[in-house]
Amino acid sequence: MKNYAGYVKVLLLSLVLLLETGCTVNTDINGVKNRIVIDTSKTDPLTTVSGNDADAEYICQEHPLERNGISLYLDCMVKDGEETDNNILLIHGLTYSSHIFDIDYKDYSLVRRLAREGYAVWRLDISGYGRSGEVEDGFMPDNDYAAEDIALALEYISHYTGQDRIDLFGWSWGTVTTGRCAAKHPEHINKLVLYAPILSGIGAHEISDEFCGNEWIKAVEDFQTDESGNFDLSITDPVLIEMYASSCWHYDGASSPNGGRRDLCVDNSEIMIDLKKIDAPTLVICGSKDPYLDYELIDGAIELLPEGSRLEMIDGGSHVVFYEEPYYHDFQDRLLKFLRS
């Protein structure tokens, strides 16, 4: 059991997002009619946000979507005063939603680093997660259903920005959903990033509950520990750990859907992503100490991916390498190098 005594609880303040003035767009994905809804009742659609990084302010904008009667939370952050044609959509993993990409402590936030580097950074919460609408059936947002949520968001971003192709980034379970989306809907994808990719089943295990109970300990169990079972503070800042956990509790509450988890908890002989069907240049990036990954499959991934793809292994990093003090700058730099190549 990890020892949490002595850590100072830091509450992450809610980010107030105002809705964009705009229009309604009707789309058809796989024969399912989807209505992209923009709330036109708001006259001030933008929120200016100050960050911990010096001399930087950001503009946040919410872009509400709807699919199968369920509201989907989509937002976009850019650096204040920045006009850009570079768009990237970030997709979260199991249990915890897109807020995890923007823990505003020191310069850890991936969202803000990308925004400072000239990107419009979009984040989507899959149906039933975070700030998206609740689902009655927790098994409904599974691998393939989530992939269609992503396809809808990409279509909207392309329509809204006028950019035909968008960079797409997935973490953990988000690599399964983005990988499937890229294989089935390549038309709006420029480059694909698979961070900590789940390429095969993680082990057969019966998932009978539709929803997963969220606990503080579960939120932080991926952070590395030392020999005594305490958090390894040479790897991760304790304040960041507390802010991460507080953000999970604030945005994700007591439970999350279990559809994706049921899909993943199968024998490791079952392949989660058919890499041969992906057309976009792909970055496979991960830490070398991630307990969820099949490194044999990862080592062979580039042979199955299109020209221009890369494998980047960060020695010593874990499943949350993007928040680990010795590695997060390296992670961000390698990501940006690929996106700009």
Position 310 pLDDT exceeds 70: yes
DSSP three-state, residue 240: helix
What pLDDT score was predicted for residue 7? 34
What pLDDT score was predicted for residue 79? 95
Position 19 pLDDT exceeds 80: no
What pLDDT score was predicted for residue 217? 80
Position 52 pLDDT exceeds 80: no
Quote the CA–CA distance of 217 and 317 in Å, as a whole number. 20
What pLDDT score was predicted for residue 215? 83
Position 20 pLDDT exceeds 50: no
Q: What is the pLDDT of residues 158-175, one digit of tens each?
A: 999 999 999 999 999 999
Position 83 pLDDT exceeds 80: yes
Quote the CA–CA distance of 329 and 317 in Å, as a whole number. 12
Contacts 24+ apart (CB under 8 A), 25-32: 25/156, 25/159, 27/152, 27/155, 27/156, 29/148, 29/151, 29/152, 29/155, 29/185, 30/148, 32/67, 32/68, 32/148
- Please name each of the domains of the chain with its CATH number: 84-107+130-340 (3.40.50.1820)
What pLDDT score was predicted for residue 43? 26
pLDDT-derived band at 46, boundaries 50, 70, 90: low
